[in-house]
Every structure is written in structure tokens, then in C-alpha cells.
Amino acid sequence: MASPRRWPAAFLLASALQIPPALAKPTLHWTPCSSNADLDCATLTVPLEYADPSNGQRATIPLARYAATVPVSQRKGSLLTNPGGPGSSGIDFLANGAGEGLSTITGGYYDIVSWDPRGVGDAKPLLACWDTAGEEMVASDSVSAAAEIEYSLFRNKTYTSPGGEYEKAINEFDASVAEIAADCAEYNSSALYTSSAAYVARDMVAIVDALDGKNASLNYWGFSYGTIYGAEFVQTFPERVGRVVFDGVFNPQANAETYMSQLPNDELYVADAIGDFARLCEQAGPEGCALSDGGNSTGLAKRLASLQASLYDNPISVSDGSWSITVGMFSFFMYSFLKLPTTWPAVASALRALEQGDADVMGELLTGATETSVNVSAPDTGSMAGWPIQCTDNAPSNGTSISEVAELVLELSLTERTPWLNADLSTLSFCRNFPNTRPRVRNFGAKRLTNLQTNAALTARNASVLIVNALHDPTTPVTSAQSLHRWLPTSSQLVTRKGPGHTTISLASLGLVNVIREYLLDGTLPETVQVHDVDQVVFGQGISDETITPDPVFNGNFTDGERALLEATYAVFLAFLSLP
């Protein structure tokens, strides 16, 4: 009888991670990045299909590094970061200022590293839906910014009756997005079903192995959808969890269900953020906020509603007559910028001009944020990869009827007082028209969180994560952060900051950034849940309303070191803002 075969330890570890032995000890070759001389770039090769890692198919993951600034003997290894999306480039995030900003916050002790997740940016294969960028542009231009729906009419039974104007608008928007979903499914990129969170989490293991060695722990600061990757990682590899920050928590439980479950979660704090906008504007007065007339915030909120309603029947054209601000375009504008409080002075100026019949200011903000030069014969850029990525992370939504969508939007808009839900329908429409095929390696979603299995594994190792969120985040509501903390009761701490903004970096808070800094530097967490004040002024004299990236103003007397942390927070936010 043959003796049992003894497998090398490296093979056993690689097998557990679903990484072929040949790739178990990757080597990175760093060279200066062409996009930013302060960064080094490298490429990591990983299996394309983790369900069959030995089939010879490979994916390449681009990496960028902002090197630690302290002496080598004091360095703490690597801190990975991801700006979310899904579909955003981590390379661009670092190159546009996040590398230096995060390094300042963490005292230069870490190599700050990010990557383009599989299917995205310069990763190969790209999650493309067409052959060329020209086809991609035509498809993008075929979809309206939002469904042409008017919130104030939602109590009008004629408007909302079956076959009425409301349902017609929902159908028209859904049909335009459905064509893109069909194109993506038909094109069937090799990245289409190999770019989900479960695959990204396994790539993160490979990245840590290459950066800091086998069995090294992951140190990570994930923003927005980057927290989905963090949640998948801590459930799949709890033994590799180091210091992990979840910033602006995307609910992994809702995200694992159909998008009909995710959408209600998205709208929970929109009304509160609108209230913050109106309150802060009126507090600043006409000298600090172009939209203020010296009245109260309730009056300003009513003016916004009236302006939106007027655009339903009377769109306002830009001066050259080439296009108009419709009610759908207005909803898209407000939905996009409500999550970004430091842009609000420019937003208020655009709204004031629109009240006066001038659409050019709003038009410039919209086109400045979206227009790019396109080589129509170049390959597809993968700019729409976020839709199919999120679909394959969700449970199939293709059993959802258009009438169910219309009913949900109507109910949510009224109960949550969220007047711009028509601008948040694109992912639902895409997923509703997308196949029910899912990746071979399935996401945990929140299965090992809700049953407290991950909490037990982390607690046994004395490993704890930090969860941070803004109280009035209109995109990733604080309730999601609270749920994550509840699922990790002895292995996490929750810290929040007051006010609006998507992720905590959208408004600088010295108290909060110090909590994050102390945790990442020495593992210290507060003993109890904390709430920190905002230290950045939104509206005020001296803050430019002619740009969405004004010079920051902070509301206190700070030491040079404290101010550096606040300015670094803003620098990271500007890098976040720069992403498509």
C-alpha cells in the first residue's frame, strides 16, 4: 500500500486560498508611475477564475504605491485602500492626491497602496460591453440622466395611475438602460463573471502576500463600495485581518439581495441631507450662500421643490440652445452633489441662477463633471463596469417587474421624502434586465457576519476593525454602519461624525481623523461609540462658489499638525471627488 503523499505547506496554503502554487509567492517589480512621479507602479498576475485557478487563464491587477516616509526600521508595512464605485480606479485615487493625504494622516509609517480592481481601469481583462469607446459613448449618451419624473405629482392619482405619465417615464428610462444591459450580457467579457467581491477579496490576499509576505495581515481603509470588499475579506479570511477601516458602509446584507432591497437602504438619509443643505445655507446668509434670501431653511427647501416642479413642464435651456435642464437633469444634479457638501457653495450659486432662468451655471457644473475627450476608435474603456459588477454582487433582479419598480419608487419617495429617487434607478434598471447568471465563486454577502461567525473568529485573535460613518450620509446611511457593528459586537467599534456627506472624508473632523490615525498606528480603539463634530466650514465668506473644489476653511484655532490632518482629509476627499 502506498504511503500517503505529503504535500508541501506552500501548496496547502495556496489551495486553501484557491491560488495556484506557481503564484503563491508573487514578485512585484516597481517602477515610477507615468501618471504621478511620487508613485511607484507594478502589476500582479492572479488567476482569472478562482473556481478553476489552474486552467491557465490569468488576470493582471495594476498596483500603485505611495512609499512610507519614515526610516525603514520604523515602517509598519502596507496600507491598502480602495475608493469604491464599484468601478473606480484605485490608481487614479492615489495619483490624484489620496496617496499623499493618507500618508500624512498615518504619519508616513505605511506604504499606501491601491489597485484597479479586476475588470476596472487598467486591469486585464477589462469588463467591457462593446469593442470600441465610440460604441460605449453612443450607449452612454442614449441613457437619460434620470427618469423624467416629478415628485410633487406623486399624490396625483391621474399621474400615478397604471399607464399614466409616471409609469410611462419609468418605462422609457428602463428601456434605455435595458439596451446597455443586453449589450453587456451579449458581449460576455471574460471579466463579466469574474469581477465580483469574492474574487476581489482573493486578489487582496495575493496583493498582501506580494507586498508584505505570506501570512501577513491586511491593513485596509475602504471607502463606500470598498467596504463591500472589506466585508467579503473579513468573512473569507478572518485569520488575515489586521487594521481595517470601513468608511461609509455599504450594507453587505442588502447588497447580497436583489436591488429592490438595496434601493430602500440608499434613501434613508436623503431628507436629512437636504435639511442640512438648507439649514447651513440660511445660517450663512446671503453673504455666504448665493441661494439664501435671509429666510429660514423650511422656506428654502420649499423653493427647491417649487423649482424642481416647474422644470417638469418648463425646462430651461442653456444659452446656446443645445440642451435643457429638465426635471430629470435637475434630479441628477441634486442627487450627485447632495453627497458632497464642500461643493454646495457652487451648487447654491447654480440653483440661484436657475431660479432666475439661467441654466448655464448648472450646465457648466454638469458638463465639467462628465465631459471627456473620446477616441471613438479606441477600445472600450470599461466606464460602465460598475453596473454589471454590482449586479453580479446582488442576487438576480431579473424577476422584478416594471410595475414593482414603479410602486417601490412611489412608496419610498413619499415615506422617505426623497425627491430625487428617479436619479438612483439606473442600477436597478440594469440589474432588472441582466441575466441571472452569477460568478462560480459566490460572495458571502453578510452570511458569516449575521451569524456572528466572523465576530467569533476575529475575537479569538484579538483583532478588531474600525467602522466610521457620517450621521446624515445620503448614500451609505449610518444604519448600515450600525448593523455592521452589531454583527461584530466584540471585534469592532463604531465612530461617527455629525452632518452630511458621503464617507467621513467629505467633511473634515479633527476628532474623527485622530481616531482613525491612532487605530492605524497602534491599534487603539475607543472604548465606546463616539460622535465627533465637523471642523470644516461648508458655506461662508471667503469660500468660492465658482468651483466645486474651493480652498478649505476650518472653524477653529488649530496647531500646524492639526491643520495638516484636516487638510490631508480634504486632499483625500478631492481625490475621491476626481473619480468618474
The 10s digit of each residue's pLDDT in 196-252 is 999 999 999 999 999 999 999 999 999 999 999 999 999 999 999 999 999 999 999
Q: Which helix (H) or strand (E) holds 312?
A: helix 297-313
- Please tell me the distance from the alpha carbon of residue 109 to that of residue 111, in angstroms, as a whole number: 7
- Calculate the CA dihedral of residues 172, 176, 178, 181 and round it to 10 degrees: -160
For residues 480-484, average pLDDT:
98
pLDDT score, position 84:
96
Give me the phi and psi of 219, to 5 degrees please: -105, 130
Look at strands 58-66 and 111-115 and give their pairing: antiparallel
% of the chain residues with pLDDT over 90: 90
For residues 553-572, average pLDDT:
97
Q: Which of 215, 163, 207 is nearest to 10 (CA)?
A: 215
Q: Are 107 and 521 in contact (CB under 8 A)?
A: yes
- Please tell me the distance from the alpha carbon of residue 407 to that of residue 200, in angstroms, as a whole number: 35
Q: Which residues pair with 113 in a beta bridge?
A: 65, 80
Query: How big, in percent rounded to 5, are the helix, strand and coil portions of the chain?
Result: 45, 15, 40
pLDDT score, position 371:
52
pLDDT score, position 8:
38
Domain boundary assignment for the chain: 21-125+193-258+443-577, 133-191+261-432
For residues 113-135, average pLDDT:
97
Greater pLDDT, 374 or 252 = 252
pLDDT score, position 147:
96
Q: Are 97 and 574 in contact (CB under 8 A)?
A: yes
DSSP string, 360-415: HHHHHHHHHHH-----TTSBP--TTTHHHHHHHHSPP-TT--HHHHHHHHHHHHHH
Give me the phi and psi of 365, to 5 degrees please: -65, -40
104 has pLDDT over 80:
yes
For residues 361-377, average pLDDT:
81
- Name the least confident of 17-21, 322-326, 352-356, 491-495: 17-21
pLDDT band at 18 (very low <50, low <70, confident <90, very high): very low
Supply the angle between the helices 344-355 and 327-338 in degrees, to the nearest 10. Answer: 160
pLDDT band at 346 (very low <50, low <70, confident <90, very high): very high
Q: So what's the architecture of 21-125+193-258+443-577 in CATH?
A: 3-Layer(aba) Sandwich (3.40)
| 3-class DSSP assignment, residue 462 | coil
pTM above 0.75, yes or no: yes
pLDDT score, position 580:
82
pLDDT score, position 551:
97
For residues 266-285, average pLDDT:
96
DSSP state of 244: E
| 3-class DSSP assignment, residue 305 | helix
HEC string of 173-226 equals HHHHHHHHHHHHHHHCCCCCCCCCHHHHHHHHHHHHHHHHCCCCCEEEEEECCH
DSSP state of 3: P
